Chain A
Amino acid sequence: MSGFFLTLWISLAVIIAGSALGFLLGILLSYGAMPLRWLIRGYVDAVRGTPVLVLILATYYLLAIAGVNFTAIQSGLFALSIFCSAHMAEIVRGALQSIPRTQIEAGRSIGLTFPKILLYVLMPQALLQILPVWINTGAELVKASTLLSVIGVGELLLRTQETVGRNFMTLEFYALCGILFFVINFALEQLGKLAERRFAFVRRGR
């Protein structure tokens, strides 16, 4: 069971850290200066183009030779946060670019500075589109956290494998593990649907 809680904790930490970074990157990607945009674009495409497993393994080994002494958990958190930030950057960028330019112009015409425009005009509209996809990304991250078992992080899947190695009740334990993961993700999905329904009222007007 400790594996279960570690899975939850890791997923939560990664979602928070990765989303924060991804949010920032997404905003910069949409409205930043050209060179900055290229840099971020390159980063996002590179990260999204590699499988998560490769990302996790590469970070684990590369951090070691770079002299940074991360534990397995820390390197795993780092890798997954990078993955999450790249995904979030794409999502935020997509949402921001789908808002008509007129909104920004309207904001300027009533005298708001750009940061204020961002906060009061763009964000509420963008968040509406980001929310469902964000929950989706969260669920994917929970699933990706299982890959951390490969570098020895004692999360749910690894603990299951250890237990199975001890008492050979393979089927029962893998099934239990599957059910637990299903419960986590299903709960996330229902949360997403609930959130969507509650914010749906804003769709009117525009």
Chain B
Amino acid sequence: MSYSFNFGVIWANLDTFLLGLALGLALAFASIAIGTVLGLVCAFASLAKGRLLRTVVAAYVTFVRNLPLLVIVLFAYFALPRLGLRLGKNESFIASLSLYAGAYLTEVFRAGLAGVPRGVIDAGLAIGLTRARVSLYVVLPIMLRNSLPALGTTFISLFKDTSLAATIAVQELTFVARKINVETFRVAEAWLAASFLYISTCLLLAAGLRRLERRFPKF
């Protein structure tokens, strides 16, 4: 078997690769933002007094966590138009990934909430803060710091999940790699380049996460 490596193809298409990576990061960022809001709301809701609210949140989390992301993505893009909800490719993917992210992040935030010492909440109530203010100014920062490691790893795996956008033809890194692969038959170069970009981005994100953890010491 003789395979001559020709990385010229990669350099020639470098801009497409990097654009794909940038799009992937953008998709991840948007989905994470929406997912975080969703996760925070649901995490606090899961401690609510109303039985109905807690059941709804639990059902949402259990249901979405047990579904493959690909099924959710394809369902959102192909099946939802049947119900009248027709979104563009990027939007539909962001919606799917946000929903998925929200479910995972709810679990992460719930664990973070559980790690807040009871005494701190009581102290807040004792100095006369309302329950809402206690939640906002006392509990939230502690919870965020507690869940930082898990949050970071979830972010990184969500970034890797953006590669699924390639299945609905969003022009992100995996899609570009496949395209180059199919067009130029430079199999090894294309996939090595894609893997390299993914791995280095993940490593950079992980390193950034560690620095962030050091800046905000554990409560």
Q: Is the CB of B194 within 8 A of A54?
A: yes
A186–B67 Cα gap in the complex (Å)?
A: 9
Q: How far apart are B120's CB and chain A's nearest CB, in angstroms?
A: 28
Q: Is the CB of A177 within 8 A of B199?
A: no
- Please provide the chain B residues from 149 to 183 with a CB less than 8 Å away from any CB of chain A in the complex: 160-164, 166-167, 174, 177-178, 181
Q: How far apart are A80's CB and chain B's nearest CB, in angstroms?
A: 13
Q: How far apart are B134's CB and chain A's nearest CB, in angstroms?
A: 33
Q: Is the CB of A143 within 8 A of B79?
A: no
For A161, give the chain B residue with the smallest CB separation.
Answer: B74
Which single member of A58, A157, A170 contacts B70 (CB below 8 Å)? A157
A85–B84 Cα gap in the complex (Å)?
A: 43
A161–B177 Cα gap in the complex (Å)?
A: 24
* Residue A65 at the chain B interface, CB threshold 8 Å: yes
A140–B7 Cα gap in the complex (Å)?
A: 35
* Residue B188 at the chain A interface, CB threshold 8 Å: yes
Q: Is the CB of A185 within 8 A of B66?
A: yes
Q: How far apart are A182's CB and chain B's nearest CB, in angstroms?
A: 5
Residues of A within 8 A of B203 (CB): 45, 49
Q: Is the CB of B199 within 8 A of A49?
A: yes
Residues of B within 8 A of A174 (CB): 71, 74-75, 78-79
For the residues of B in contact with A, the DSSP-based class is: helix
A67 and B199 in contact, given A174-B79, A189-B66 (Cβ under 8 angstroms): no
Q: Is the CB of B163 within 8 A of A51?
A: yes
Q: How far apart are A35's CB and chain B's nearest CB, in angstroms?
A: 21
A157–B67 Cα gap in the complex (Å)?
A: 12
A170–B83 Cα gap in the complex (Å)?
A: 10
For B72, give the chain A residue with the smallest CB separation.
Answer: A178
* Residue A82 at the chain B interface, CB threshold 8 Å: no
Which single member of B67, B72, B79, B181 contacts A170 (CB below 8 Å)? B79
Q: Is the CB of A182 within 8 A of B63?
A: yes
0/1 string, B57-82, CB within 8 A of A gives 1? 00000110111111110110011001
A139 and B160 in contact, given A46-B199, A65-B187, A164-B78 (Cβ under 8 angstroms): no
Which single member of B63, B71, B191 contacts A54 (CB below 8 Å)? B191
For the residues of A in contact with B, the DSSP-based class is: helix
Residues of B within 8 A of A49 (CB): 160, 195, 198-199, 202-203
* Residue A33 at the chain B interface, CB threshold 8 Å: no
Q: How large is the interface on A (under 10, 10 to 19, 20 to 34, 35 or more residues)?
A: 35 or more
A170–B181 Cα gap in the complex (Å)?
A: 31
Which single member of B65, B74, B187 contacts A61 (CB below 8 Å)? B187
Q: Is the CB of B78 within 8 A of A57?
A: no
Residues of A within 8 A of B199 (CB): 45-46, 49-50
Q: Could you name 13 residue pairs across A and B whose Cβ atoms are closer than 8 Å?
A: A49-B160, A49-B199, A53-B174, A57-B191, A61-B191, A65-B187, A65-B188, A146-B70, A157-B71, A171-B79, A178-B72, A185-B65, A185-B66
A sample of 9 more A-B contacts (CB under 8 A), given A150-B167, A171-B83, is A49-B202, A50-B194, A53-B174, A57-B174, A146-B68, A171-B79, A174-B78, A177-B71, A185-B65
B residues adjacent to A (C-beta < 8 A): 1, 3, 62-63, 65-72, 74-75, 78-79, 82-83, 160-164, 166-167, 174, 177-178, 181, 187-188, 191, 194-195, 198-199, 202-203
A residues adjacent to B (C-beta < 8 A): 45-46, 48-54, 57-58, 61-62, 64-67, 139, 142-147, 149-150, 157, 161, 164, 170-171, 174-175, 177-178, 181-182, 185-186, 189
